[in-house]
């Protein structure tokens, strides 16, 4: 569970997806920048070294040429004396000239930009041979130019020969501790790299945060929705904006979650409705049972208290008790039948038989009651047989209930017409139309509910229990058929049962309930006893 997560093994690693992704981004950027930085600094170092060495050589050559030029311009040399004699001695006038402070400044501060050591020497076939008195040192006095720094190093000596002289000589120049641009350039580049790195890191953090936000926001919404669902809020869904904004995988997950929640809600509602109906059903059953039991108890008490002395009263009590017991028995049978139908325990005994005879038998059974009540009961049937797969006993039960209601709710001298006919689609229909009291439009949608009795039911000659039409609908639906009703108050009611050619053609509410077997015992439901 989310609340009892164990701390991570490494302790420091962030637990959240956002934290981890940000850390990963930062790590990748840091490593990349580190490697790039190393490479750049390394390459730049080599490049600047080369640049500097070229620069120092150029400066040294400049110094050498300047020195040679100064030596050649000395009056004694111009008069014909060699700068360096054949024994390796530098002309003293040259020495004096080059030792001057002004010359030293030019050589060290302007040309060499370093402490400069230069010496004259003879250029022979063996190479450069330094003169005995020709070594000069000029110290740098000026301040470095902007961007320059003093570098503690000694440059490679540069020798510039002057072979056009009578005695060929040369000058060897070495620069010590020069002012260079290298360190500053490198530190500039390193600083720039560091700044770039910091900016890249900041960008990485921002991008990681934005990316993870896009992922974690829908994830969080999903988590909240599942939490609420787990708490029992079955109407909870993941908001559509969270589904649309997230990555495709998460959008799919959100859609699936919502579909699952939808189905869950439907199932829960069905279970709740069933539970409520069962409660109502139980309450109705106990109420229905209580009335005849109370009546029986009263008769019993009256008889015990001596009413049996009066033979007329005794006979009346016994007769009424018998009627109540019949009613109890009828109620029990109906309840049993209905619960079997509902639970799917009843299997239809489907046979290909003439539907006309199934209907006719039920109508015949009801004719005595109709006659007794002064209601005309007629049956209209085609001449040719209607061969149809159906359960004859249960379809007979349907007709018995509908015709029974018709007779019950039709006043004397009215009529009940039963019609059975083949339908164009190969199925058949049974219509029971009466000229009775009719049903209130407001009550029409409820008449198939268990224990529902219309407000006009008590006006009619039967009290009923409100189970007859429930049984009708269950049996018809098991056949894959439908039952419809039309009614006008004061004019009459017409019930129309439609049965398909094949009972399985239209799937019934519960497919288990249709089977071709004769194992189910035929229900023995008598018409409702007279009140
Ligand atoms: P009951 O045992 O009360 O007849 P039903 O389930 O058969 O139970 O019928 C439920 C209610 O539907 C009745 O109480 C009555 O109000 C109404 N009803 C059924 N059939 C008819 C009919 N043919 N004419 C008028 N009302 C009817």
Give the Å distance between the CA of 453 and the centre of ligand 1.
6
pLDDT of residue 14: 79
CA 76 to CA 90: how far, in whole Å?
12
Q: Which of the two residues, 284 and 297, has the higher pLDDT score?
A: 297
240, two tokens = 């559509």
pLDDT of residue 460: 54
pLDDT of residue 457: 66
pLDDT of residue 463: 58
298: which residues sit within 8 A by CB, 6+ positions away?
none
Q: Atom of ligand 1 at shortest distance to CA of 401? A: 7
Distances 421 to 379, 403, 429 between C-alpha atoms, Å: 11, 17, 6
376: which residues sit within 8 A by CB, 6+ positions away?
370, 413, 414, 415, 416
For the ranges 121-125, 131-135, 191-195, 450-454, the lowest mean pLDDT is seen at: 450-454
For the ranges 7-16, 145-154, 332-341, 378-387, the lowest mean pLDDT is seen at: 7-16
365-370 long-range Cβ contacts below 8 angstroms, 24+ apart? 365/400, 365/527, 366/400, 366/403, 366/404, 366/407, 366/527, 369/404, 369/407, 369/527, 369/530, 370/403, 370/407, 370/416
Give the Å distance between the CA of 349 and the centre of ligand 1.
27
pLDDT in tens, 222-234: 999 999 999 999 9
- Residue 498 pairs with which residues in a beta bridge? 429, 482
Instruction: Report whether residue 439 contacts ligand 1, using a CB cutoff of 6 Å.
Output: yes
Give the Å distance between the CA of 494 and the centre of ligand 1.
12
Residues of the chain with CATH 1.10.287.130: 247-343
CATH topology of domain 247-343: Helix Hairpins (1.10.287)
pLDDT of residue 147: 86
Residues of the chain with CATH 3.30.565.10: 345-515
Nearest CA among 75, 63, 64 for reference residue 113: 63
CA 241 to CA 216: how far, in whole Å?
14
Count Cβ atoms below 10 Å from residue 448 Cβ, excluding itself: 17
CA 212 to CA 437: how far, in whole Å?
72
User: pLDDT confidence of 1, banded at 50, 70, 90?
Assistant: very low
Residue closest via CA to ligand 1's atom 21 equals 405
Distances 182 to 147, 195, 244, 333 between C-alpha atoms, Å: 9, 20, 56, 110
User: pLDDT confidence of 308, banded at 50, 70, 90?
Assistant: low
Farthest-apart Cα atoms in the chain, separation: 183
User: Average pLDDT over the chain, rounded to whole?
Assistant: 86
Q: Which of the two residues, 419 and 525, has the higher pLDDT score?
A: 419
179 close to 148: Cβ distance less than 8 angstroms? yes
With the most atoms of ligand 1 within 8 angstroms of its CB, the residue from 438, 446, 453 to mutate is: 453
Q: What is the mean pLDDT of residues 178-195?
A: 87
CA 526 to CA 304: how far, in whole Å?
32
For the ranges 24-33, 100-109, 410-419, the lowest mean pLDDT is seen at: 24-33
User: pLDDT confidence of 458, banded at 50, 70, 90?
Assistant: low
Residue 522 has pLDDT above 50, yes or no: no
pLDDT of residue 307: 60
Residue closest via CA to ligand 1's atom 17 equals 454
Cβ burial of 26 (10 Å; 0-12, 13-18, 19+) is: middle
407 close to 416: Cβ distance less than 8 angstroms? yes
Q: What is the mean pLDDT of residues 425-454?
A: 91
pLDDT of residue 417: 97
Pick the CATH number of 345-515 from 3.60.20.10, 3.40.50.170, 1.10.1270.20, 3.30.565.10: 3.30.565.10
Q: Which of the two residues, 235 and 344, has the higher pLDDT score?
A: 235
Q: State the residue for tokens 């992704």.
A: 21
For the ranges 33-42, 276-285, 385-394, 407-416, the lowest mean pLDDT is seen at: 276-285
Q: What is the mean pLDDT of residues 268-280?
A: 85
Indicate the SS3 state at residue 119: strand
Q: Which of the two residues, 80 and 345, has the higher pLDDT score?
A: 80
pLDDT of residue 505: 46
Give the Å distance between the CA of 127 and the centre of ligand 1.
137
pLDDT in tens, 318-370: 888 888 888 888 888 888 887 777 777 778 889 999 999 999 999 999 999 99
pLDDT of residue 507: 45
Instruction: Report whether residue 403 contacts ligand 1, using a CB cutoff of 6 Å.
Output: no
CA 517 to CA 412: how far, in whole Å?
42
CA 230 centroid distance within chain: 16
CA 388 centroid distance within chain: 51
Rg (CA), the chain: 58
Q: Which of the two residues, 63 and 26, has the higher pLDDT score?
A: 63
Percentage of the chain with pLDDT > 90? 51
Give the Å distance between the CA of 466 and the centre of ligand 1.
7
Q: What is the mean pLDDT of residues 407-424?
A: 95
- Would the pTM of this model clear 0.85, i.e. be above it? no
φ, ψ for residue 258, nearest 5 deg = -65, -40
175 close to 61: Cβ distance less than 8 angstroms? no
Indicate the SS3 state at residue 457: coil
């Amino acid at each position: 569970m989310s609340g009892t997560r164990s701390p991570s093994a490494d302790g420091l690693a962030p637990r959240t997806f956002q934290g981890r992704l940000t850390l990963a981004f930062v790590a990748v950027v840091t490593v990349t920048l580190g490697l790039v930085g190393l490479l750049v600094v390394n390459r730049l170092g080599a490049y600047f070294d080369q640049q500097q060495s070229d620069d120092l050589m150029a400066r040294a050559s400049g110094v050498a040429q300047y020195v040679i030029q100064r030596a050649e311009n000395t009056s004694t040399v111009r008069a014909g004396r060699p700068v360096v004699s054949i024994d390796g001695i530098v002309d003293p006038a040259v020495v004096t000239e080059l030792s001057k402070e002004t010359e030293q400044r030019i050589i060290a501060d302007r040309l060499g930009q370093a402490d400069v050591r230069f010496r004259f020497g003879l250029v022979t076939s063996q190479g450069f041979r330094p003169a005995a008195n020709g070594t000069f040192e000029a110290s740098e006095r000026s301040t470095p130019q902007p961007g320059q720094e003093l570098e503690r190093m000694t440059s490679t000596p540069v020798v510039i020969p002057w072979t056009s002289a009578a005695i060929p000589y040369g000058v060897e120049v070495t620069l010590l501790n020069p002012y260079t641009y290298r360190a500053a350039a490198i530190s500039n580049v390193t600083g720039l790299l560091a700044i770039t790195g910091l900016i890249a890191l900041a960008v990485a953090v921002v991008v990681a945060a934005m990316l993870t936000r896009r992922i974690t926001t829908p994830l969080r919404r999903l988590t909240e929705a599942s939490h609420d669902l787990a708490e029992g809020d079955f109407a909870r869904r993941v908001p559509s904006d969270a589904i649309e904004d997230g990555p495709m995988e998460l959008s799919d997950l959100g859609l699936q979650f919502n579909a699952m929640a939808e189905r869950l809600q439907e199932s829960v509602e069905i279970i709740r409705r069933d539970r409520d109906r069962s409660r109502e059903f139980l309450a109705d059953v106990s109420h229905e049972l209580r009335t005849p039991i109370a009546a029986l108890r009263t008769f019993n008490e009256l008889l015990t208290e001596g009413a049996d002395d009066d033979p007329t009263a005794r006979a009346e009590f016994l007769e009424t008790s018998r009627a109540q017991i019949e009613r109890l028995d009828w109620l029990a049978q109906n309840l049993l039948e209905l619960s079997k139908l509902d639970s799917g325990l009843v299997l239809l005994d489907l046979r290909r038989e003439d539907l006309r005879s199934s209907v006719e038998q039920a109508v015949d059974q009801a004719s005595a009651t109709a006659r007794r009540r002064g209601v005309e009961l007629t049956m209209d049937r085609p001449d040719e047989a209607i061969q149809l797969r159906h359960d004859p006993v249960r379809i007979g039960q349907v007709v018995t209930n509908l015709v029974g209601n018709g007779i019950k709710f039709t006043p004397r001298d009215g009529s009940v017409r039963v019609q059975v006919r083949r339908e164009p689609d190969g199925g058949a229909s049974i219509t029971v139309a009466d000229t009775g009291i009719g049903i209130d439009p407001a009550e029409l949608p409820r008449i198939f509910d268990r224990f529902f009795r219309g407000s006009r039911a008590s006006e009619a000659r039967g009290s009923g229990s409100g189970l007859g039409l429930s049984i009708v609908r269950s049996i018809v639906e098991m056949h894959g058929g439908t039952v419809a009703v039309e009614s006008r108050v004061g004019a009459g009611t017409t019930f129309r049962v439609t049965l398909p050619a094949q009972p399985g053609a239209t799937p019934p509410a519960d497919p288990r309930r249709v089977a071709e077997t004769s194992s189910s015992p035929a229900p023995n439901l008598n018409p409702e006893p007279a009140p």
